Amino acid sequence: MANSPSGDSGLDRLVRVLETFDADRTLQTASEIGRRAGLPPSTAHRLVGDLVAAGLLERDEDHRVRLGLRLWELAERGSLALRLRQAALPFMERVQARVREHTQLAVLEQGEALFLERLSHPQAGANITRVAGRLPLHASSSGLVLLAFADPEVQERVLAGPLTGLAPETVTDAAELRRLLARIRRDRFVVAAGTVEAVSTGVAVPIREGRSGPVVAALSVVLPRGAPTAGALDELRSAAAGVEQALHPRSH
Amino acid sequence: MANSPSGDSGLDRLVRVLETFDADRTLQTASEIGRRAGLPPSTAHRLVGDLVAAGLLERDEDHRVRLGLRLWELAERGSLALRLRQAALPFMERVQARVREHTQLAVLEQGEALFLERLSHPQAGANITRVAGRLPLHASSSGLVLLAFADPEVQERVLAGPLTGLAPETVTDAAELRRLLARIRRDRFVVAAGTVEAVSTGVAVPIREGRSGPVVAALSVVLPRGAPTAGALDELRSAAAGVEQALHPRSH
């Protein structure tokens, strides 16, 4: 794709446009997109027009645009996210039916925990996780599991800091985090109380690609702080074994 | 984005590359992508390299590429698909827990039924639907509901044909289809037996955007042919009311 006079490529501009959308901002004008993406108004209008013509954005009656269903379809149907989610969903539903709080699936993406799925009971407690949202690896229970089984370079990069506290009990000391990660590798689970929000506890286990493959995802529940965790952990372990078998039927 | 000597834009080429991926083809080499997208090898290699650099594709150890999680995240987090799915999922789970076959959510997209979600019981009967997959409007129960409540122009375009038969009982006669659509508008549901596959029956209801807004989606179950449909229809109607309220809490 062609470079602009400022040197950024067409793909960079496309990514910057897409980055301006999220769950709280699904409809925007071309001018708003341009401002948020740091693009000159004329560039923003032309690019939005091109994206609408390609079906990647859709325009409503008020000339605002949203992400196109065509874009969603293209990004979803062959994705690793869909494959993991499809394998995990039946087992997540069983966890959810029994624990009745929040059940989540996350992967490591660009140094953060990216959440692929979340099931929530209508009366469940607090949980800031969103589908297609992210949390820091060192704070969330899913992130801690992903980090414990990540490449050493990824671990060292996170341990080098800064380790920002999301809540009073986030582990922000590198030596303490290193010990916690070793414990997670040994136990193959974590119970993280008050590390994302003071009012909640995350419990997470790893999901491997096949019986002895690498860890590719984390399965977690978020419980109200102080709730018993043993039952949820049993459900998660059994669900993770089911997902691993679904991902690689012949390795079991 | 710049045009190539052949006149297609960078965005067109991007869409053609993304179109080569689907659930059965998640990993490809740049050469395979180029062949399937109708791009010269040098163009395909350069474009794939640019997409990997932007994080929209990911490369594995064998130099094959897959759709990037970053692309999935950007396309998902602000999407109408996510909003509808999040509103519908708790109600779909209840339908699924009671009917124990297949429960699906679809929208009208470019003249076809695009499926946003599917829950399936491990022992459920046949069902060719896929998440982020499509079916013709005149054949699937979801498609028939979406078509019945679509703009008149969309209806006339489909009625003008060709009306291809997917199974022996797909309605392929325009006059008969017109009568069926009128009946669906009156009844607000359809039972479509053997119209997608001879062995299954689809039951679908519309979901409106708010109590009296336009129809934005169809909720359906797929049952084995000959199974009773009344219970499933009751579940679907109650679930659709719940989703409509979740989409527009104040209009109820």
- Tell me which of A3 and A107 has the higher pLDDT: A107
Model confidence at B3: pLDDT above 70: no
Smallest CA–CA distance, residue B72 to chain A, in Å, is 5
Reduced to 3 states (helix: H, G, I; strand: E, B; else coil), residue A94 is helix
CATH of A80-251 among 3.30.450.40, 3.30.465.10, 3.40.50.11060, 3.30.360.10: 3.30.450.40
**Amino acid identity, residue A22?**
D
Interface probe with B: pick from A18, A69, A99, A118, most Cβ of B within 10 Å: A69
Cα three-residue angle A148-A128-A231, rounded to 5 degrees: 60
Mean pLDDT of the B5-19 span: 80
Judge: B69–A23 Cβ closer than 8 Å, yes or no. no
Nearest chain A Cα to B44, which residue?
A: A1
Nearest chain A Cα to B17, which residue?
A: A74
pLDDT of residue A7: 46
Give Cβ neighbours of residue B183 (< 8 Å, ≥ 6 apart).
B190
The predicted-structure confidence for A102-111, as pLDDT tens digits, reads as follows 999 999 999 9
A107 neighbourhood in chain B, CB within 8 Å? 69
**Integer Cα distance of B182 and B148 in angstroms:** 7
Share of chain A above pLDDT 90, in %: 82
The predicted-structure confidence for A48-72, as pLDDT tens digits, reads as follows 999 999 999 999 888 899 999 999 9
pLDDT of residue B7: 46
Judge: B9–A50 Cβ closer than 8 Å, yes or no. yes
**Amino acid identity, residue B162?**
P
Reduced to 3 states (helix: H, G, I; strand: E, B; else coil), residue B84 is helix
Q: Which of residues 102-141 of A touch B (CB under 8 A)?
A: 107, 109-110, 114, 119-120, 122, 130-133
Q: Does A151 touch chain B (CB under 8 A)?
A: no
**Integer Cα distance of A33 and B121 in angstroms:** 42
Reduced to 3 states (helix: H, G, I; strand: E, B; else coil), residue A69 is helix
CATH fold for the domain made of A10-74: Arc Repressor Mutant, subunit A (1.10.10)
Both tokens assigned to B78: 């602000």
The per-residue pLDDT of chain B, averaged, comes to: 92
Q: How many interface pairs between A and B have CB atoms less than 8 angstroms apart? A: 177
Selecting from A10, A51, A89 the residue whose C-beta is nearest the C-beta of B2 gives: A10
B56 neighbourhood in chain A, CB within 8 Å? 11, 15
Predicted-complex ipTM score: 0.92
Share of chain B above pLDDT 90, in %: 82
Q: Does B46 touch chain A (CB under 8 A)?
A: no
Q: CA B83, B87, B90, B94: dihedral to nearest 10 degrees? A: -120
Strand partners, B201: B193, B223
Q: Does B27 touch chain A (CB under 8 A)?
A: no
Mean pLDDT of the B119-142 span: 90
**Integer Cα distance of B167 and B145 in angstroms:** 18
The predicted-structure confidence for A190-213, as pLDDT tens digits, reads as follows 999 999 999 999 999 999 987 788
pLDDT of residue A5: 46
A93 neighbourhood in chain B, CB within 8 Å? 93, 96, 119
Q: Which of A2-6, A85-89, A225-229 has the lowest mean pLDDT?
A: A2-6
Q: Does A52 touch chain B (CB under 8 A)?
A: no
Phi, psi for A65 (deg, rounded to 5) = -120, 150
Please identify which residue in the block is written with the tokens 């090898």: B41
Selecting from A9, A23, A130 the residue whose C-beta is nearest the C-beta of B50 gives: A9
* pLDDT confidence bin for A251, thresholds 50/70/90: low
Selecting from B73, B96, B114 the residue whose C-beta is nearest the C-beta of A114 gives: B73
Interface probe with B: pick from A73, A92, A98, most Cβ of B within 10 Å: A73
pTM of this structure: 0.91
Please answer whether residues A223 and A125 qualify as being in contact, where contact means their C-beta atoms are separated by less than 8 angstroms.
yes
Structural element, H or E, at residue B207: strand B200-208
**Integer Cα distance of A21 and A33 in angstroms:** 8
Establish how many alpha carbons lie within 13 A of residue B248's alpha carbon, considering only the half-sphere containing its beta carbon. 15
CATH 1.10.10.10, chain A: domain bounds: 10-74
Please answer whether residues B10 and A2 qualify as being in contact, where contact means their C-beta atoms are separated by less than 8 angstroms.
yes
Mean pLDDT of the B145-172 span: 95
Q: Does B25 touch chain A (CB under 8 A)?
A: yes
Please identify which residue in the block is written with the tokens 């109380």: A193
Judge: B73–A109 Cβ closer than 8 Å, yes or no. yes
Selecting from A21, A53, A90 the residue whose C-beta is nearest the C-beta of B78 gives: A21
Mean pLDDT of the A90-114 span: 94
The per-residue pLDDT of chain A, averaged, comes to: 92
Model confidence at B155: pLDDT above 60: yes
* pLDDT confidence bin for B212, thresholds 50/70/90: confident
Q: Does B147 touch chain A (CB under 8 A)?
A: no
Please answer whether residues B41 and B31 qualify as being in contact, where contact means their C-beta atoms are separated by less than 8 angstroms.
yes
Q: Does A239 touch chain B (CB under 8 A)?
A: no
Both tokens assigned to A115: 């959440």
The predicted-structure confidence for A12-43, as pLDDT tens digits, reads as follows 999 999 999 998 999 999 999 999 999 999 99
pLDDT of residue A6: 46
Model confidence at A2: pLDDT above 70: no
* pLDDT confidence bin for B61, thresholds 50/70/90: confident
Judge: B26–A1 Cβ closer than 8 Å, yes or no. no
Judge: B114–A73 Cβ closer than 8 Å, yes or no. yes
Mean pLDDT of the B211-232 span: 94
* pLDDT confidence bin for B249, thresholds 50/70/90: confident
Mean pLDDT of the B156-160 span: 97
Model confidence at B1: pLDDT above 60: no
Model confidence at B2: pLDDT above 70: no
Judge: A74–B18 Cβ closer than 8 Å, yes or no. yes
CATH 3.30.450.40, chain B: domain bounds: 80-251
Please answer whether residues B132 and A76 qualify as being in contact, where contact means their C-beta atoms are separated by less than 8 angstroms.
yes
Smallest CA–CA distance, residue B176 to chain A, in Å, is 30
Farthest-apart Cα atoms in chain A, separation = 59
Please answer whether residues A125 and A103 qualify as being in contact, where contact means their C-beta atoms are separated by less than 8 angstroms.
no
Both tokens assigned to A87: 């394998």
Q: Does A51 touch chain B (CB under 8 A)?
A: yes
A5 neighbourhood in chain B, CB within 8 Å? none
Mean pLDDT of the B51-55 span: 93
**Integer Cα distance of A217 and A209 in angstroms:** 9
**Integer Cα distance of B16 and A17 in angstroms:** 20
pLDDT of residue B251: 57
Reduced to 3 states (helix: H, G, I; strand: E, B; else coil), residue B216 is strand
The predicted-structure confidence for B91-128, as pLDDT tens digits, reads as follows 999 999 899 999 999 999 999 999 999 998 878 888 88
The predicted-structure confidence for A116-172, as pLDDT tens digits, reads as follows 999 988 788 888 889 999 999 999 999 999 999 999 999 999 999 999 999 999 999
Please answer whether residues A88 and A117 qualify as being in contact, where contact means their C-beta atoms are separated by less than 8 angstroms.
yes
